Amino acid sequence: MAKPTRQTPPRPWLSIGVLPLLWTSHCAGPAAERKTVATGAAPQPADTRGDGFDLAQATRGLPGEGELAAELHTSMGRIDCELWSDEAPITVANFVGLARGLRAWKRNGTWVELPFFDGTTFHRVVPGFVIQAGARLHEEIGNAGYTIPDEVWEGAAHDRAGLLCMANDGPDSGSSQFFILATSEASQLDGSYTIFGSCFQTDIVDEISRVKAYGERPATPVTLDRVVIKLEPRW
């Protein structure tokens, strides 16, 4: 499937970063007006464990053949995504490993191997712009305890709703939080955020982005009940 190309003019008032771990009243302030996305989690050294986690480890024991894909089972419907391991192998390996419980993450000071995303929420929504997940806010965990490098591949453009991207707090600071675009007009994000896949039910993405919220936090939690990783031919 052809990757997205730039189709829309820059919108300098939009940017993406990582969301605050602990929510306060500032969520409706200037950051929201700029439509940013940030993790807000404490900075972590790159690859804290030094394990060099890769796609072979992330897909160990995965049945079938074909391309990597993910099912995001949410309280508002299922979102199917293809994962672009050719363009962003480190990011995809990290996402798949966390989803399957094969990549260790830090929980209360201890490294554990459990599915990271299951039972979490979309903790940030900006209407018609973005939905963000990948923090275990019920445990006050904003990241996986390490960071991974950016993988900004040639021609990458945030120009299509449904693009699956890593949130960050600056260069090479991604960990577990990710976002899905609900807009095709976010070219100001180009060059700063890893695009590692594309999701297909953009109507559900848009619907989630428009739920009632206090600032940018949904008034009623939108849950990410589980993430299923599978191998299948590209759509």
Six token digits for residue 212: 């009632």
* Most distant CA pair in the chain, distance: 47
CATH fold for the domain made of 25-232: Cyclophilin (2.40.100)
- Tell me the residue type at 44: Q
Separation between Cα atoms, residue 50 and residue 53, nearest integer Å: 8
* Per-run averaged pLDDT (10 residues), the chain, 235 residues: 34 41 29 44 46 92 94 98 96 98 95 97 97 95 94 95 96 96 94 97 98 97 98 74
Separation between Cα atoms, residue 177 and residue 135, nearest integer Å: 6
Judge contact between 123 and 132, C-beta under 8 A: yes
Separation between Cα atoms, residue 66 and residue 20, nearest integer Å: 37
Q: What's the confidence (pLDDT) of residue 111? A: 95
Q: What's the confidence (pLDDT) of residue 25? A: 26
SS3 214: strand
Cβ-proximal residues to 102 (8 Å cutoff; 6+ apart), any chain: 57, 58, 60, 96, 113
Q: What's the confidence (pLDDT) of residue 6? A: 29
Q: Which residue ranges make up each domain of the chain?
A: 25-232
Six token digits for residue 47: 């690859």
